[in-house]
Chain A
Amino acid sequence: MRTENQRAWLFVLPVLALVAFNALMPMMTVVNYSVQETFGDNRFFWQGLDWFEQILRSDRFHAALGRQFLFTAIILLIEVPLGIAVALSMPRKGIWVPVCLVLMALPMLIPWNVVGSMWNIFTLPKVGMLGYFMNDVLGIRYDMTQDPLAAWITVVVMDVWHWTSLVVLLCYAGLVSIPDAYYQAAKIDGASAWSVFRYIQLPKMKTVLTIAVLLRFMDSFNIYTEPFVLTGGGPGNSTTLLSIDLVKIALGQFDLGPAAAMSLIYFAITLLVSWVFYVVMTKDDQG
């Protein structure tokens, strides 16, 4: 071990402290809760892995997890191709570039609970513009407070509206970094528009696209605020995603042990899927 100049540790210390306080310590508290039973009077009983077993066998958890995967799959399937398509059709030079960029960034700048409220008011039958238009002008029954399908469509559309921009901006950054020579060479090689996309644009976007999908996966898998404000998980439990269910168990029912176990399982799933995805996407880059 080096004996001279250990000063580097001093510089790392603040970060370590920060991470310890905002991530590690809360996490350890959760671990602590997940193996014990408490009635809130600061008395704890050892429970072992019972809570984990209970959560993993619970139909309620399975249903919420299923809804969560379904939601994430749907929004990824919409946002990624849509984001690529929008990025491809954006101008790459000229005065419209900043205009497009600002328009794209706008939805992401809105606080999440505001997004939820906006879409709530927008889609309520009678009150909201969309709700009124669908029901009273077009005559299509559309009520996300009553109809699970309508609620799902609304949550998905809201997420697409809010977050497709992220995919667009990342893809756009990838696209503008492609030198003109690639397009010129492709033209001379007689490549079709599809070939240009398949062999030039997509490979060059791969890195940013990986990041985009990863971010969208994690964010949508952990989504809470917007659907909570919009539907509150209803009607019934139809839009109760994992995080909403977790909050219900932890703060609604005050079952801290099962909630802690559930959040650890939740965390493990997010981590595992992200890791597998990342490894698969980057394994070609070596060699």
Chain B
Amino acid sequence: MARITLEKLRHSYFPAPSGPDDYALKGLDVTWRDGGAYALLGPSGCGKSTLLNIISGLLTPSEGRILFDETDVTTLPPDRRNIAQVFQFPVIYDTMTVRQNLAFPLKNRGVDEATIARRVGAIAEMLEVTDMLDTRAAGLSPDNKQKISMGRGLVRDDVNVVMFDEPLTVIDPHLKWKLRSKLKELHQRVKATMIYVTHDQTEALTFADEVVVMQDGEVVQIGTPVELFERPQHIFVGHFIGSPGMNVLPCEARGDRALFQGHDVALEGAVTGAGGTTMLGIRPEYVSIGSTGIPAQVVKVADVGRHYVIDAMVGDTRIKVVAEENAPDKGAAVHLAFRPEQTRVYRDGWIATEPRTTGAQV
């Protein structure tokens, strides 16, 4: 187990990168505490797999250092870093039994038979695969194969970090939930540092204590699931997390207020900085339909089960609204109100309002 520190990490797949666009990772400074559960969340191609491979040692970064506790492991090969990794597709050794699969990492490290038997037994029990220990691994179902892959990572009790690279991709939806809670449970039992890479917000938010949101090789925000939802630091985070994502509306900033389509809008705090493109960000959950406010026309109403998602037009701008009940009819003229403490201005993508210091944060 170890604390993981990434120091000024940059990586390019080109031998002579000429500009920021050549970098798959554009500069990362992160510290992850020992025993934490972290998720790397971002769209495909955002650099999260690159980062994972750098931590596991399959890639050596172009610049920067990786520390496990105080030890610099930047140039160490994977087998000397004492890490475990679970891949997108289950990797199992076809010709071996489940037991041999689980014992393989220990055997390779010359662990004595008694310890191997004890560890394999314990891990098999945790993963609930004890009854299949002596069957050939090749014949297992995908979710059991993925469990075995996880087991091979967890069987060593000295791993610094266990990494998961979108491990539920090939798992049937109804088993995803089971496996995810298994994973959470495992984390609580083995107390290893775990890093979970995914592009699925539900997976990230349910697994992790802290989520690292990445875009284009950069970290845009690190925070707890609640922080990411309540106060996105970047419109990308607002977009990417939440369903539907945050409304991003063109606006003009005026001191501690904003002008949207000629309507005056109250904000959470004073606007910082100047110039650039300003946008108004508000989550659909914090827009309400009432008798006063900005006039709008309802163009679409979708019943998604727990609530309604309503599309309303203000001029030529579309706003999404989440309403628990009393959804208006399509075509109705309504008034929209933005909750001020959840309404922010973003300048060139980044948050540009001061946080509210008083008043209840929802």
Binding site for B on A (CB under 8 A): 179, 181-182, 184-185, 187-192, 195, 199-200, 203-204, 287
Contacts and interface: CB of A to CB of B under 8 A. Distances in A.
B108 A203 contact: no
A199 B95 contact: yes
Interface in B76-113: 77-79, 83-85, 87-89, 91, 93-96, 104-105, 108-109
B91 A190 contact: no
Nearest to B104: A189
B139 interface: yes
B58 A190 contact: no
B77 A187 contact: yes
Interface in B48-98: 53, 56, 58, 77-79, 83-85, 87-89, 91, 93-96
A188 B108 contact: no
Contacts of A187: 58, 77-79
Contacts of A204: 94
B149 interface: yes
Given A184-B53, A287-B139, 5 more contacts: A179-B91, A181-B88, A184-B58, A184-B87, A189-B108
Interface in B113-164: 139, 149, 152-153
22 contacts: A181-B87, A181-B89, A182-B91, A184-B56, A185-B87, A185-B91, A185-B149, A185-B152, A187-B58, A187-B79, A188-B83, A188-B153, A189-B104, A189-B105, A189-B108, A189-B152, A190-B79, A190-B109, A191-B104, A199-B104, A203-B94, A287-B139
Interface residues of B, number: 25
Contacts of A195: 108
Nearest to B159: A188
A181 B163 CA distance: 13
A189 B77 CA distance: 12
Contacts of A184: 53, 56, 58, 78, 85, 87
A242 to B, nearest CB: 36
A203 B108 CA distance: 19
Contacts of A188: 56, 78-79, 83-85, 105, 153
B96 to A, nearest CB: 7
A187 B153 CA distance: 12
A188 B79 CA distance: 5
B136 to A, nearest CB: 8
A231 B119 CA distance: 64
B93 A199 contact: yes
A179 B95 CA distance: 17
Contacts of A185: 85, 87, 91, 149, 152
Nearest to B90: A181
B78 A191 contact: no
A77 to B, nearest CB: 23
A273 B210 CA distance: 62
A147 B95 CA distance: 47
B87 to A, nearest CB: 4
Interface string B241-268: 0000000000000000000000000000
Q: Which of A182, A185, A187 has the most CB of B within 10 A?
A: A185
